[in-house]
Structure 1
Amino acid sequence: MPIDVFSDIARVDARDKVRGHTRYAADVRLPGMLYAMLVPARIAKGVLRILDVTPARQTAGVVGVLTPDDVASLTTTISFRGQPVAMVIAESIEAAVDGAEAVTATYDTVPFIPLMDSPGATRVPASGLDVGDAEAALLDAATVVEGRFETPTQHHNPMELFGTVAEWTEGRLIIHEGCQNTEAVKAALAQAFDLPPDRVAVKSGSVGGGFGQKSPPKLQTALVAYAARMTGRPVKLVTPRGQIFHIAPYRPRSVHHIRLGADAAGRMTAISYDVVQENIPGGAFRSSGYHEDIARLYAIGNFRATAGDIHIDRQTPRHTRGTHPFPAGFALESAIDDLAYALGKDPVQIRLDHAATTDIIAGQPLAPHFLSECLTEGARRFDWSRRSAEPGSMRLPDGTMVGLGVACGIFGASGAAAETTLRVRADGITTVIASGHEMGQGIQTAIANTILQGLDINPDRLDIQMGDTTLGPQMMTVGERGTASIIPVVAKAVRALRAKFAELAGSAPPAGNLHTQLARLKRPSIEVSVSELAPGQDASALDGFRHGARSGAGPEYPGFTSMSYIAQFVEIHIEPGTRRIRMPRAVSIADIGRVVSPRTARGQMYGGMVWGFSTALREETEIDPRFAGYLNDDLADYVMAVHADIGNVEVGLIDKPDPMINAVGVKGMGELVMLGTAPAIANAIYHATGKRIRKLPIRIEDVL
């Protein structure tokens, strides 16, 4: 059975962070270190014909320049603007920048497609879903709503830039880099340099935000490693944000067309859903993934989904926090709001009336979940009953338009094979060697709380080690997999260590905490190593985990499907003269199974609400179609939410375990927390104005 409610402890990394003691990759300083800077291509598509690096080599402080003649990954075939064509290595960062700016290049250009709607852009079909008979049900429906919804190109923009430090020691390559998947980086480097895996180490102790951007291996990592091998000295590259915009993955623009039908009793009977997104040929971000979560959100028996990619000539899009359910949910939850008004139903009640118990994709039960409780608790805290139903009917005395909106979010609850080592010493130190990456989400605090819940140890001398391939295999920390995979195996280690100590101490254990007891038993330490599998996995998953292969599972498991859920409530004020949109109040309630670290979970929810507001009303990457480049490629022009934008945000967690997914009953929440916010805001704007806005971000001119 899942374990009891967890207490609320302070973040274990808080003190180091506020004192500036937390070390990131760019903080690494090694004797004799050199500095590097990339040289980006200035065209969108074509061939590099002439690369003149002589001026760079003659620049004071420059040690060397890597070109396509030196490194195969620096190809002369240009596929997107900003693609690196060279890298300058120098004694200082200033000299590296000067040298990079001195490089000149000549290209043969070819026509390119910068945007989804550019001339020559064509749709390439992708796989979809067809459950029941949506078209027949829509023909029979008493009420049908329809809409075209659009979400823009957006970039992640974590605070930490792409930073890589490479050093070679006796034929062994050591990389310091902020990333979400050190094992994939290790495997890519071992292949690139034809090294045994045990001759490559990747260290990523702390990551300054990832959100999916730091999951795939980066081109720069191998380049910095080549530079370090060539020069015989450590090399550091911190890529400027403007270059990151052009080489890092991003959220692709997508367009969604929805038809939603209900019968005469107001029961939703069918959805016809089509989506198209921008992508590159062979891109890893599947357009067929948009329907996979939203089809499980409500009990609607007929669901037809079609999908496609429009190939463009920019860098590859990939997963961004909220991934597919963010844009798909904006479309679906806006359409459901439209339907609620068309039927004269309360937007909360229509969602409650369609609580899902079955996964229509896998044809099996959904694990016990509490979306209805999220809705009812959110409505209570938000005082939803004060809402008057008619759009435009709520105003403040000064004429400010008031709108209340609600929307839900859903994300698959995944898990993975994992293992951990737990060691308690008589000298007062406890060490846990775990698998995963601390990206600021608080996973170390969750680990600490799991250990402190089960063991009487010194809380201030707990050493949590992770993100370093020399410690053991490191799990890819993406898609809400981290806590849901690490915590069950840590809890198992706690149980195993308690059992081992009970056997050691016998029927009359000495007094004191575990450290004191060990000292009195004259035992220097006690240690256990354990492993754990996700439901339905066998030993091959653990073997894959130990050798850097994918070892994840879910949300479809044998006999059940598990999802995480959230309900978002927002109040929007629109000023009568300027039409400025404000959000004075929001309530967010989530079902993530058992809450292991209440403090960091609430922090995730606050951050999700802020990012949701930002994606709804602020963020859009602007593309110049003449060059297929990004215009607002910095934090000054890429408009994001700031502190003054956010009003009072109240968050809550249902904190009921999922008894089927793992022994702790914990599900993930990292992707979930921003879902539903954008459609809730759009729905509130409709309630305030009577104007349905079907694209993001929503600007002042949209509500004039």
Structure 2
Amino acid sequence: MNTMTQIGQPISRLEGKLKVTGAAKYSGEYKVPNLLYGYVVSSAITKGKIIKIHTESAEKIKGVVKIFTHLNRPGKAWFDMQYADMDAPPGASFRPLHNDEIKFNGQPIALVVAETFEAAREGASMIKVDYQETKFQTDLHSNLAAARDAKKGMATLLKPPPPKPTGDFEKAYAESDFKASGEFIHSTEHHNPMELFTTTTLYDGKGKLTIYDKTQGTINCQLYVGNVFGLHFKNVRVVSPFVGGAFGSGLRPQYQLFLSVMAALDLKRHVRVTLDRSQMFSFGHRPQTIQHTRFGATQEGKITALNHTSVAETSQFEDYTENVTNWSSMMYPADNTLFEQKLVSLDVNSPMDMRAPGGSTGLHAIEATMDEISYKLNIDPLELRLINYSTFNNAEKKPYSSKELKACYLQGAEKFGWYKRSPQPRSMSRGQKLVGYGMATGIWDAMQLPARAEAIITKDGKLHVKSAVTDIGVGTLTVMTQIAADEFGLNMEDVLFFYGDSKLPFAPIQGGSFTTATVGTAIVFASKALKKKLLKIAKTSNEAFKKAEIEEVTFKNGMMIYKDCSISFLEIINTNKDKPIRTTNFGYPHALKLRKYARAVHSASFVEVEVDQELGTIKVTRALTAVAAGRIINPKTARSQVLGGMVWSISKALMEETIMDAQLGKYINQSFAEYHIPVHADINELDVLFVQEDDKIINELGIKGVGEVGLVAMPPAIANAIYHATGKRINRFPIHFDELMES
């Protein structure tokens, strides 16, 4: 047994002071002697071949050491990269500087390495390239005839294909008392974390590398570098303790990692490569997607028919896809269903997971269609969800391990004041502003993967816990320390959590809202094993513990307590000849138990908007998201996660969009000046409510992730609120004010 004191407490992030004071070092901030700097040259065309690269002028610049191109890249570099990245979709991963072929606009075609960053950048600006351009296709809408089934790209555990059809959808839909349908268009969005992608590779002179990289997976990058460059994994160490935003963009190794390592190995020097802001638009985007829905319902509001299809872009060399159409049958039981996902290969870089991939896209279509049905039925949108409420997952034909979504609806509606809403569109106003209320349901998978953790009682009686997991700014360091502290009944200051280093025990990439469940469970497993070791040693030195069973022992404040007797960790260490006591253990999901259940985290978002009657401008004046995510380890960091998703929801619904010029095959707003994201003035009253959910099935801690669920429900809630305010249903994201201006 142990005394729980830390879990559930709103503890501030342990690394917070380091970040706000500038003491935290990011991948491009390490002071390294004799460091070389690399600057990437990007392709100016979208598709074709390089005829000649003119490097003469660049080579004359003082400080330029070497210019790497496809013509002189080191020949020992490998080039079977498909299995070098644990997050790679099916296909052939992009190979930087592989040959003269151009696959997408902005593709890296050269690396200028110099003694200073300024010399490298100047050298890059001096390089001229002769191209042979060929015809390209970058527009999804004009290439829909080339759409093909997406199942090949959904062959992984984390991305299952849509559920198989059930019943007779077409017949059921035709015979439905009420119908709603729509086309939903989502523009491209690009990752724009504050920290630029940087890799600093240190070469030790003996073939060993220490790499500081912006990544969501230190071990994934270690495996990538080892496989790609033919290095023993033990000779590659990847370190990433602080990450200035990632949200999926750091799940895969980005090309600056490859270029930095390549140059360091070739020159036998330390090399740093940093991508500039415009180069951040050459990878890492949420794909443009077109969806269609058709829902049928009875007069009483029962959904009887569900049809959801999507077509999204991918690259010519990988089949990236995401779960877009899987969600509605997980939420609303219907006997007649038809779901399809298709892909169109375009001349772009592969899309990439972006916070709540597929969910934030698919839920918009689903929840806006449900909203439309509610108005046709003259049933309150919240009441329609309650009519179709189920604790059973129709897609998997399994009950949920826990589902407190109804509590999210009811508690959220009460706190938000939902029932003060006037039901009719355009019936609420404040002065010249139309006021609208909207709500929507959210869902995200509650996943867990295997991971390892090491737990150590040190010579001074402290607890050290180790895992290679990164902390991308979500509070991982803090919550893992809380979990470990409670396992041993310790105060937070008596626990040190070591993380963000590939030399530490295995952890998967940080994403998918599975990190706390994954690494937290590994810590529980390691702690249980370490407790048994401590008891075994205690039995050899303390007669009172001879007959003790581990279940009968309490751990508190550095002590083991059995009945009226106690022994300190320091005494046990002394018995162990002053040697630390350690154990490393795997944490894993209980597959046999879990296979009987569906697992998900649920939410409900409520939004109020104001729309200017003359200008059409939109303001989200207040919003609330209620979340059921099992046991909340840290309400403060969890709330911050959901709030961050709500801010991004405003961005997704109203602002964020990368615009492709189909004639140039190029994104034309590759800067923060023209890629619009919210500022402080755009954010008003946001609130988060966690409802109580006790899940004794899902894992040892009863926890679910909250990283993505804050983003899935609020965008459709915003769209639904705009409809309620104006009577206009806009199904294209982002929603532009000109579509709402009075004619």
TM-score bucket (shorter structure): over 0.9
How many Å apart are 1:521 and its aligned residue? 5.0
Match in the other structure for 1:56: 58
Please, which of 503, 511, 519 is the counterpart of residue 570 of structure 2? 519
Match in the other structure for 2:420: 386
* Code of the aligned partner of 1:317: P
* Code of the aligned partner of 1:453: D
Please, which of 320, 337, 349 is the counterpart of residue 285 of structure 1? 320
SS of the aligned residue for 1:637 comes to: coil
* Structure 2 CA distance for partners of 1:425 and 1:496, relative to 1, 3 Å: same
Is this contact kept in 1: 2:316–2:347, CA < 8 A?
no
- TM-score using structure 2 length: 0.88
SS of the aligned residue for 2:684 comes to: strand
Match in the other structure for 1:540: none
Match in the other structure for 1:89: 113
2:581 equivalent to 1:530: no
* Structure 2 CA distance for partners of 1:260 and 1:425, relative to 1, 3 Å: same
Q: Distance in 2 between matches of 1:307 and 1:590?
A: 28
Q: Distance in 1 between matches of 2:701 and 2:569?
A: 28
- Name which of structure 1's ranges 118-127 and 44-53 shifts more when overlaid on structure 2: 118-127
Match in the other structure for 2:429: 395
* Code of the aligned partner of 2:208: R
Match in the other structure for 1:545: none
Q: Distance in 2 between matches of 1:371 and 1:476?
A: 29
2:230 equivalent to 1:167: no
* Structure 2 CA distance for partners of 1:512 and 1:562, relative to 1, 3 Å: closer
Deviations for 1:341-360, whole angstroms, at most 9, x for unmatched residues? 00010111111121222222
Please, which of 279, 285, 296 is the counterpart of residue 243 of structure 1? 279
Is this contact kept in 2: 1:140–1:263, CA < 8 A?
no
Q: Distance in 2 between matches of 1:521 and 1:502?
A: 9
2:579 equivalent to 1:579: no
How many Å apart are 1:371 and its aligned residue? 1.0
Is this contact kept in 2: 1:25–1:177, CA < 8 A?
yes
Is this contact kept in 2: 1:131–1:361, CA < 8 A?
no
* Structure 2 CA distance for partners of 1:447 and 1:119, relative to 1, 3 Å: closer
Q: Distance in 2 between matches of 1:454 and 1:183?
A: 26
How many Å apart are 1:399 and its aligned residue? 3.1
Match in the other structure for 2:179: 144
Q: Distance in 2 between matches of 1:510 and 1:273?
A: 53
How many Å apart are 1:181 and its aligned residue? 2.2
Please, which of 446, 462, 467 is the counterpart of residue 413 of structure 1? 446
Deviations for 1:522-562, whole angstroms, at most 9, x for unmatched residues? 6344333222211218xxxxxxxxxxxxxxxxxx9411110
How many Å apart are 1:512 and its aligned residue? 8.6
* Structure 2 CA distance for partners of 1:265 and 1:111, relative to 1, 3 Å: same
Matches within 5 A, 1:480-495: 480-495=513-528
Matches within 5 A, 1:223-622: 223-246=259-282, 248-286=283-321, 289-396=323-430, 398-427=431-460, 429-460=462-493, 462-505=495-538, 506=542, 507=544, 513-514=557-558, 517-520=568-571, 523=574, 524=578, 525-536=580-591, 557-622=594-659
How many Å apart are 1:666 and its aligned residue? 0.8
Q: Distance in 2 between matches of 1:135 and 1:510?
A: 62
How many Å apart are 1:434 and its aligned residue? 1.7
- Name which of structure 1's ranges 625-634 and 560-569 shifts more when overlaid on structure 2: 625-634
SS of the aligned residue for 1:561 comes to: coil
- Name which of structure 1's ranges 558-567 and 181-190 shifts more when overlaid on structure 2: 181-190
Match in the other structure for 2:254: 218
Alignment root-mean-square deviation, CA: 2.3
Is this contact kept in 1: 2:201–2:210, CA < 8 A?
yes
Match in the other structure for 1:109: 133
How many Å apart are 1:494 and its aligned residue? 3.2
* Code of the aligned partner of 1:320: M
How many Å apart are 1:291 and its aligned residue? 1.6
2:710 equivalent to 1:677: no
Is this contact kept in 2: 1:658–1:667, CA < 8 A?
no
Q: Distance in 2 between matches of 1:52 and 1:222?
A: 23
Q: Distance in 1 between matches of 2:223 and 2:513?
A: 23
Deviations for 1:142-196, whole angstroms, at most 9, x for unmatched residues? 0111111111100121111111011222111221101112222222211222122
Is this contact kept in 2: 1:394–1:688, CA < 8 A?
yes
Q: Distance in 2 between matches of 1:268 and 1:3?
A: 48
Is this contact kept in 1: 2:484–2:495, CA < 8 A?
no
For structure 1, the residue ranges without an aligned partner over 5 or more in a row are 538-555
* Structure 2 CA distance for partners of 1:564 and 1:108, relative to 1, 3 Å: same
Q: Distance in 1 between matches of 2:234 and 2:735?
A: 51
* Code of the aligned partner of 1:357: T
Is this contact kept in 1: 2:461–2:569, CA < 8 A?
no
Q: Distance in 2 between matches of 1:472 and 1:2?
A: 25
How many Å apart are 1:119 and its aligned residue? 6.5
SS of the aligned residue for 1:261 comes to: strand
Q: Distance in 2 between matches of 1:252 and 1:530?
A: 39
* Structure 2 CA distance for partners of 1:613 and 1:274, relative to 1, 3 Å: same
- Name which of structure 1's ranges 411-420 and 113-122 shifts more when overlaid on structure 2: 113-122
Q: Distance in 2 between matches of 1:163 and 1:36?
A: 10
Match in the other structure for 2:243: 207
Is this contact kept in 1: 2:2–2:486, CA < 8 A?
no
* Code of the aligned partner of 2:190: H
Q: Distance in 2 between matches of 1:114 and 1:457?
A: 57
SS of the aligned residue for 1:303 comes to: strand
SS of the aligned residue for 1:493 comes to: helix
How many Å apart are 1:499 and its aligned residue? 4.2
Match in the other structure for 2:83: none
Deviations for 1:259-301, whole angstroms, at most 9, x for unmatched residues? 11001322111111111111123534226x2122332012223
How many Å apart are 1:49 and its aligned residue? 0.8
Match in the other structure for 1:658: 695
* Code of the aligned partner of 2:569: L
- Name which of structure 1's ranges 646-655 and 3-12 shifts more when overlaid on structure 2: 3-12
* Structure 2 CA distance for partners of 1:510 and 1:648, relative to 1, 3 Å: closer
Q: Distance in 2 between matches of 1:412 and 1:474?
A: 19
Please, which of 228, 241, 257 is the counterpart of residue 192 of structure 1? 228
* Structure 2 CA distance for partners of 1:510 and 1:449, relative to 1, 3 Å: closer
SS of the aligned residue for 1:660 comes to: coil
How many Å apart are 1:461 and its aligned residue? 5.0
* Code of the aligned partner of 1:690: G
Q: Distance in 1 between matches of 2:72 and 2:688?
A: 54
SS of the aligned residue for 1:39 comes to: strand
- Name which of structure 1's ranges 614-623 and 424-433 shifts more when overlaid on structure 2: 424-433
2:23 equivalent to 1:21: yes
Q: Distance in 2 between matches of 1:379 and 1:3?
A: 36
How many Å apart are 1:658 and its aligned residue? 2.4
Q: Distance in 2 between matches of 1:323 and 1:335?
A: 20
Match in the other structure for 2:731: 694
* Code of the aligned partner of 1:698: I
2:115 equivalent to 1:80: no
* Structure 2 CA distance for partners of 1:512 and 1:45, relative to 1, 3 Å: closer
- Name which of structure 1's ranges 113-122 and 134-143 shifts more when overlaid on structure 2: 113-122
Identity %: 30
Match in the other structure for 1:542: none
- Name which of structure 1's ranges 525-534 and 656-665 shifts more when overlaid on structure 2: 525-534
Q: Distance in 2 between matches of 1:387 and 1:649?
A: 18
How many Å apart are 1:520 and its aligned residue? 4.6
